[in-house]
């Protein structure tokens, strides 16, 4: 594969930004140096004025993902999704495995891993979703085996009673098992009963239109679930990762718990930071394109969520990428408008796998809320640590995989569905002008994206990541 010397840039890691040249060799970072005139390489990249950052890690994606009782699936598959990710500067994704009805969790995991490996252009890993016990009585045995196969993170649902929701007893049992095996438990934290009750009341009142989805999913339902998950995890001594925190009240629960010494980490998503309920409240059926769970909340909620990123109450920013098309394509099962005017049937999820870094840079760094080091921490270093990949991923460091970005902090770009690579036919951030984007993207030393927009990566070049134990500090 040869070697590449990236010269003249500022290397940005989570704790420091320093001027240094970076030598890539055999897919890894071989050396960093100040005065490197005596170094030679097959390729030399001029990064003067640029930042050199570790590639983005999106710890929460749903590619070709079955939803609504396996009646439909998300629009991007592992090829289109990872191509889009790479264009946006993300070089690793972590997706989920949901047990299929006729398969064990372990079998579903292996099958999905092979499907993804054949299509993916960047490295990827898989979280296991723990189903309610009644769906697979021996699932704990599968979970134990999955640790050795790289699934060192398990997700539990506190919402969706009757399908994916597990009760507090199952959470406790799962958390204990995770603790025993060095696994990081993750929770979708919304109180499913509260949502069900509120949904029922809304429907009884004839409030079924798309935007009422947000009403059904209250801030209190999210905050309560976070509080309870923390208590349960602490009671057995397990760490905890809360996915897609949307409500500032829920973020506050994490903040309080961390201040009291709890080992809990929060993830939020660009859609909760840069989009608001007010943006879709009056769109009628088209509001479907904004529906996800937890919902995109009121504008007044954003400031608290931003503060949680600044104070450290939130630790990562992922996408929860789960795109559905607004207009039904012929080759896909039912998408956003499968049942207009009836929010309970709208497939949940929004796209964003390609936009994450640009949106967060613009609204977080360019706007002065935090610096480039914190940015790198949120989108790459921390997810690498929490999900057992640090050392290989998450830092521009000697010995690490040469997954890195040459980032132009002065680029001028307008986000648009027209220029993006995701399968969905709309973009949540349509028209957002951003200053800062990746001009080169390297994965294991190979340049996937070039400054002229060139893209060079074969389907299947991505490696499945057998992840190790989380690094919880």
The residues of the shown chain that bind a copy of itself, judged by CB under 8 A, are 11, 13-16, 18-20, 23, 28-36, 161, 167-169, 171-173, 176, 191, 193-194, 196-198, 218, 220-221, 223-224, 227-228, 231-232, 234-236, 255-256, 258-261, 307, 310-313, 370-371, 373-374, 377, 381, 390-391, 395, 397-400, 473
To the nearest 5 percent, what fractions of the chain are helix, strand and coil? 35, 20, 45
Would you count residue 222 as binding Zn ion (CB under 5 A)?
no
Size of the chain in residues: 473
Q: How far is the CB of 72 from Zn ion (least distance, A)?
A: 15
- Cβ nearer to a copy of itself, comparing 207 with 307: 307
Element (H, E) at 67: strand 66-67
Binding mask 179-198 for Zn ion (x = CB under 5 A): ---------x----------
Q: How far is the CB of 373 from a copy of itself (least distance, A)?
A: 7
Q: How far is the CB of 414 from a copy of itself (least distance, A)?
A: 29
Give the pair of three-digit tokens for residue 130.
């723990």
**How far apart, in Å, are the Cα atoms of 360 and each of 200, 298, 314?**
36, 19, 14
Cis peptide before 294 (omega within 30 of 0): yes
Scored b (16 or more CB within 10 A) or e, 383-415 reads bbbbbbbbebbbbbbeebbbbbbbbbbeeeeeb
Q: Which does 46 bind (CB under 5 to 8 A by kind): Zn ion, a copy of itself, none?
A: none
- Cβ nearer to Zn ion, comparing 210 with 320: 320
- Cβ nearer to Zn ion, comparing 123 with 320: 320
Q: Which does 37 bind (CB under 5 to 8 A by kind): a copy of itself, Zn ion, none?
A: none
Q: How far is the CB of 311 from a copy of itself (least distance, A)?
A: 6
Give the pair of three-digit tokens for residue 292.
């996800």
- Cβ nearer to Zn ion, comparing 64 with 403: 64
Q: How far is the CB of 243 from Zn ion (least distance, A)?
A: 6
Q: How far is the CB of 273 from a copy of itself (least distance, A)?
A: 15
Q: Are 99 and 105 in contact (CB under 8 A)?
A: yes
For residue 77, how many other CB atoms are within 10 A of its CB?
Answer: 18
Q: CA 224, 228, 230, 231: dihedral to nearest 10 degrees?
A: 140
- Cβ nearer to a copy of itself, comparing 101 with 368: 368
Greatest alpha-carbon pair distance for the chain in Å reads: 75
Binding mask 308-327 for Zn ion (x = CB under 5 A): ------------x-------
Q: Which does 320 bind (CB under 5 to 8 A by kind): a copy of itself, Zn ion, none?
A: Zn ion
Q: CA 412, 353, 398, 313: dihedral to nearest 10 degrees?
A: 100
Quote the CA–CA distance of 406 and 139 in Å, as a whole number.
43
Q: What is the DSSP letter of 277?
A: G
Q: How far is the CB of 151 from Zn ion (least distance, A)?
A: 16
Q: How far is the CB of 35 from a copy of itself (least distance, A)?
A: 6
Number of residues that bind Zn ion (CB under 5 A): 2
- Cβ nearer to a copy of itself, comparing 80 with 255: 255
Residue 29 backbone zone (phi > 0: left; psi -120 to 50: alpha; other: beta): beta
Q: What is the DSSP letter of 289?
A: G
Q: Which residues bind Zn ion (CB under 5 A)?
A: 188, 320
């Amino acid at each position: 594969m040869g070697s590449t010397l990236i010269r003249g840039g500022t290397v940005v890691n989570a704790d420091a930004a320093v001027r240094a040249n970076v030598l890539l060799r055999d897919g890894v970072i071989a050396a960093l140096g100040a005065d490197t005139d005596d170094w030679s390489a097959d390729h030399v990249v001029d990064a003067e004025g640029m930042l050199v950052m570790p590639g983005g890690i999106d710890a929460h994606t749903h590619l070709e993902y079955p939803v609504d009782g396996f009646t439909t699936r998300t629009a991007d598959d592992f090829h289109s999704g990872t191509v889009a990710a790479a264009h946006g500067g993300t070089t690793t994704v972590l997706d989920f495995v949901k047990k299929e009805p006729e398969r064990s969790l372990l079998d579903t995991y292996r099958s999905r891993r092979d499907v993804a490996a054949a299509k993916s252009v960047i490295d990827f890993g898989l979280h296991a979703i723990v189903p309610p016990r009644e769906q697979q009585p021996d699932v704990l045995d599968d979970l134990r085996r999955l640790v050795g196969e790289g699934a060192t993170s398990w997700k539990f649902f506190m919402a969706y009673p009757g399908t994916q929701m597990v009760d507090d007893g199952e959470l406790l049992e799962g958390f204990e098992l995770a603790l025993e095996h060095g696994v990081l438990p993750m929770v979708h934290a919304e109180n499913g009963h509260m949502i069900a009750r509120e949904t029922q009341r809304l429907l009884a009142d004839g409030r079924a239109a798309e935007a009422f989805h947000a009403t059904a999913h209250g801030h209190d339902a999210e905050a309560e679930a976070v509080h309870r998950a923390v208590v349960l995890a602490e009671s057995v001594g397990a760490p905890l990762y809360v996915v897609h925190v949307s409500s500032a009240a829920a973020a506050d629960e994490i903040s309080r718990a961390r201040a009291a010494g709890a080992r809990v980490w929060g993830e939020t998503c660009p859609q909760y930071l840069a989009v608001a309920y007010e943006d879709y409240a009056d769109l009628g059926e088209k509001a479907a394109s904004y529906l996800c769970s937890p919902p995109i909340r009121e504008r007044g909620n954003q400031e608290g969520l931003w503060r949680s990123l600044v104070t450290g109450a939130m630790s990562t920013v992922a996408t929860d990428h789960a795109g559905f098309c607004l207009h039904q394509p012929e080759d896909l099962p039912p998408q956003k408008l499968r049942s207009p005017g009836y929010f309970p049937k709208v497939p949940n999820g929004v796209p964003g796998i390609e936009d994450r870094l640009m949106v967060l840079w613009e609204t977080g760094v360019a706007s002065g809320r935090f610096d480039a080091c914190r940015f790198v921490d949120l989108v790459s270093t921390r997810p690498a640590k929490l999900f057992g990949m640090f050392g290989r991923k998450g830092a521009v460091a000697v010995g690490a995989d040469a997954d890195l970005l040459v980032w132009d902090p002065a680029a001028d770009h307008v986000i648009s569905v027209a220029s993006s690579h995701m399968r969905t036919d709309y973009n949540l951030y349509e028209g957002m002008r951003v200053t800062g984007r990746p001009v080169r993207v390297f994965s294991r030393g190979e340049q996937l994206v070039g400054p002229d927009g060139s893209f060079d990566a074969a389907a299947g070049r991505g490696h499945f990541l057998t992840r190790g134990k989380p690094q919880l500090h």
